[in-house]
Amino acid sequence: MYGLVPGSSVADFTQNAKSTKAQVIGQISGIVVAHILFAFASVFIIIGGSIYLGHQEWNILNYHQ
**pLDDT confidence of residue 12:** 67
Neighbours of 36 (CB within 10 A): 10
Give the pLDDT confidence of 3-36 residue by residue, as tens digits.
565 666 666 667 778 888 988 898 899 899 999 9
Find the range with the poorest average confidence among 3-7, 18-22, 55-59, 61-65. 3-7
Rounded CA separation 12/64 (Å):
36
Confidence (pLDDT) at 27: 86
pTM: 0.61
Mean pLDDT to the nearest integer, 39-61: 85
How far is residue 52's CA from residue 32's CA, in Å, rounded to a whole number?
30
